[in-house]
């Protein structure tokens, strides 16, 4: 597409820094250098190839059509380049291609170079010599932009400044408008060389393109200081626009966006600081410290020793890994150490779990034994070791040892008591948020322990994040607000899994639908785990399957509370009574909503203190 001379394009600068290690002088010496051209003179320049001086300018290549040509010019006096040197150089060039014969000009370029010695004729005669040279190239592949901008000439003024280890390249004028984009390949040696030589190199192929250096100035100065360590840093940046162009408007918008984002970050940080030092935050810290006094604060060295440098992994999740720990080493006591990752999400999971689990005491909830957090970001929790592993492992992965029905039934009941405790006996109530087989751990006697409170929340509905979709309620969508009824649904799916001996494949809905279809066709017992070979109580199997279905209805208002579930499983009420009561309560809720009233009961609403209320 044609473009006016004002059009803007990117100038790609390829940088290659290849420095051989050389002995650095022990002390810097004072040597300042300054020169300014035009006019260029052969007295202080070495001209190579097709380069020549013409009308006070340095012509690196002529405008005649040739298959290939190159030209180079080197300033005779060296520039001292030790770690605390400061030098600056600027030059302007003109590239002209009157015939616009650009079909084969991809290799045409002007190069400004720095190198440590003056013996360079061979450098431009053999490509292999470049690989063995200590040289810095700043290459300007101008020809491609002649073609892109549809013009036959380019002018530019380039400024390079090196000061105390940093180098900046700027375009201070140009037509068409030039912006710099960095493309750097920099190889840095251990030491700088003592001197460098500066110059230009230009090449062209199959074109009448001419490359002319119109002006060049360089100044350097040395600071008197010993320093044996330094690093080259190449920094490329564009200058302010000389004239209005669409890309300048884009730059303004980008800068304004950066300022706006920075301001927003500062505001959020201020609010976070205010929240951190608010009375409520200080109260939470005091309460947390009080609760943590009941637990051992392990030394990191103790955990490293006990886990044998985190040698044996016994479990893992999205935010952590679990290791087996023998502590003390001379004993036969084992623990499970949950080591959290160091990213932001994992740190949040650690704090959630620590805050929740340190407040809970229940025989069927995994007991915290200790904790350890380090300034380095290491966060660890220590629990009792569960030798039988997880319920998921026992149901699906353990070979040659089937979990009998009596133990399955007991696990379902005891898990219900743990959830009832979280939902209705803790103040504020606790939503676990990720009920599944791998989060149910079994001790020596197959007593279940509910663990992994990483996404739990105390006393408020929570946003659905991180929960396993195979156990998630239908209303559990990204950023959807959930409550205890989401836990009830997940419990129902897990109960069906315990009965069937198989787990949901993709989502819970299809898994539940299969059992629901069997019930509607009066063949519910066919859902029982075939591996049991009929070794189960049919009434208990029917009851548990129906409880699972009752907990997994789509309408969350129709799901029972864990208190009702526990009454049914313990034989205190019949399932039919619970279902009748459920229907009555839903009708009462609907009627109350019509009249603008609030009705508590089976739906598990909460009182003013955040504690779930249940109609007994």
Residue 221 to residue 580: CA distance in whole angstroms: 94
CA distance 69 to 205: 7
| Residue from 377, 365, 386, 299 nearest 340 by CA | 377
- Residues 452 and 434: beta-carbon distance below 8 Å: yes
Pair type for strands 379-384 and 334-340: antiparallel
What is the secondary structure of 479-534 as a DSSP string?
T-EE-HHHHHHHHHHHHHHHHHS---SS-HHHHHHHHHHHHHTT-GGGGS-GGGTT
Q: What is the DSSP string of 213-253?
A: EEEEEEEEEE----------EEEE-----SS--HHHHHHHH
Rounded CA gap, 516 and 493, in Å? Answer: 12
**What is d(CA 197, CA 383) in angstroms, rounded to the nearest whole number?**
67
> Which residues lie across from 442 on neighbouring strands?
448
Residue 294 annotated among the catalytic residues of the structure: no
Q: What is the number of other CB atoms lying within 10 angstroms of the CB of residue 238?
A: 18
Asked if 257 contacts 77 with a C-beta cutoff of 8 angstroms, the reply is no
Task: Check: CB of residue 206 under 8 Å from CB of residue 101.
Answer: yes
Question: What's the distance, CA 575 to chain centroid?
Answer: 49
Preceding peptide of 428 cis, ω within 30°: yes
43-44-47-53 Cα dihedral, nearest 10 degrees: -60
Check the annotation: does 338 bind a ligand. Answer: yes
Catalytic residue among 101, 373, 384, 434: 434
CB neighbour list of residue 51: distance below 8 Å, 6 or more residues apart: 58, 59, 60, 61, 71, 72, 73, 202
- As a residue count, the chain comes to 616
Question: Which tokens belong to 213?
Answer: 């250096």
Residue burial 577-595, b: 16+ Cβ < 10 Å; e: rest: ebbebbeebbebbeeeeee
Cα 309 to Cα 104: distance, rounded to the nearest angstrom: 62
Task: Please list the active-site residues.
Answer: 434
Binding-site annotation: residue ranges: 338
What residues are designated binding site for ATP?
338
């Amino acid at each position: 597409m044609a473009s006016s001379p004002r059009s803007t394009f990117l100038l790609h600068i390829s940088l290659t820094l290849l420095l051989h290690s050389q002995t650095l002088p022990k002390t810097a010496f004072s040597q300042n250098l300054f020169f300014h051209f035009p006019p260029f003179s052969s007295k202080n320049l070495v001209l190579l190839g097709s380069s020549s001086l013409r009308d006070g300018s340095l012509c690196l290549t002529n405008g005649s059509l040739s298959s290939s040509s190159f030209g180079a010019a080197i300033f005779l006096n060296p520039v001292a380049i030790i770690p605390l040197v400061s030098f600056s150089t600027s030059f302007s060039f003109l590239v002209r291609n009157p015939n616009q014969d650009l079909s084969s000009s991809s290799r045409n370029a002007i190069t400004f170079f720095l190198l440590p010695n003056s013996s360079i004729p061979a450098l431009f005669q053999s490509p292999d010599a470049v690989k063995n040279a200590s040289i810095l190239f700043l290459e300007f592949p101008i020809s491609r932009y002649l073609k892109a901008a549809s013009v036959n000439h380019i002018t530019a003024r380039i400024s390079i400044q090196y000061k105390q280890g940093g180098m900046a390249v700027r375009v201070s004028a140009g037509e068409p408008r030039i912006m710099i984009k960095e493309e750097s390949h920099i190889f840095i040696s251990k030491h700088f060389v003592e001197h460098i030589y500066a110059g230009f190199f230009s090449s062209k192929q199959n074109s009448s393109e001419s490359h002319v250096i119109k002006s060049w100035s360089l100044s350097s100065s040395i600071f008197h200081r010993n320093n044996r360590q330094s690093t080259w840093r190449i920094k490329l940046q564009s200058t302010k626009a000389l004239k209005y162009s669409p890309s300048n408007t884009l730059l303004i918008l980008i800068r304004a966006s950066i300022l706006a984002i920075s301001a927003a970050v500062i505001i959020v940080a201020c609010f976070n600081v205010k929240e951190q030092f608010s009375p409520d935050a200080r109260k939470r810290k005091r309460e947390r410290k009080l609760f943590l006094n009941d637990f051992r604060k392990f030394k990191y060295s103790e955990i490293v020793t006990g886990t044998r440098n985190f040698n044996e992994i016994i479990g893992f999740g999205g935010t952590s890994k679990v290791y087996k720990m023998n502590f003390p080493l001379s004993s036969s006591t084992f623990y499970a150490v949950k080591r959290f990752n160091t990213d932001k999400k994992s740190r949040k999971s650690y704090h959630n779990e620590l805050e929740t689990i340190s407040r809970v005491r229940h025989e069927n909830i995994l007991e915290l034994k200790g904790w350890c957090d380090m300034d380095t970001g290491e966060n660890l929790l220590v629990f009792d070791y569960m030798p039988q592993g997880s319920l998921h492992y026992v149901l699906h992965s353990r070979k040659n040892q089937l979990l009998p029905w009596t133990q399955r039934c007991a696990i379902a009941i005891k898990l219900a008591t743990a959830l009832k405790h979280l939902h209705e006996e803790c103040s504020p109530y606790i939503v676990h948020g990720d009920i599944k087989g791998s989060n149910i751990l079994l001790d020596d006697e197959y007593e279940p322990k509910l663990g992994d409170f990483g996404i739990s929340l105390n006393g408020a509905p929570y946003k659905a994040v991180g929960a396993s979709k195979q156990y998630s309620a239908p209303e559990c969508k990204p950023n959807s607000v959930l409550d205890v009824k989401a836990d009830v649904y997940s419990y129902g799916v897990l109960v069906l899994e315990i009965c069937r001996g198989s787990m949901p494949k993709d989502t819970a809905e299809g898994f539940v639908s299969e059992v629901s279809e069997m019930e509607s066709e009066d063949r519910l017992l066919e859902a029982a785990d075939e591996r049991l070979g009929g070794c189960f109580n049919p009434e208990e199997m029917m009851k548990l399957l129906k409880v699972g279905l009752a907990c997994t209805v789509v309408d969350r208002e129709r799901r029972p509370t864990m208190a009702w579930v526990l009454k049914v499983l313990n034989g205190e009420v019949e399932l039919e009574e619970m279902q009748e009561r459920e229907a009555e309560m839903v009708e009462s809720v609907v009627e109350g909503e019509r009249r603008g009233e609030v009705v508590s009961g089976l739906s598990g609403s909460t009182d003013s203190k955040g504690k779930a209320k249940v109609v007994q």
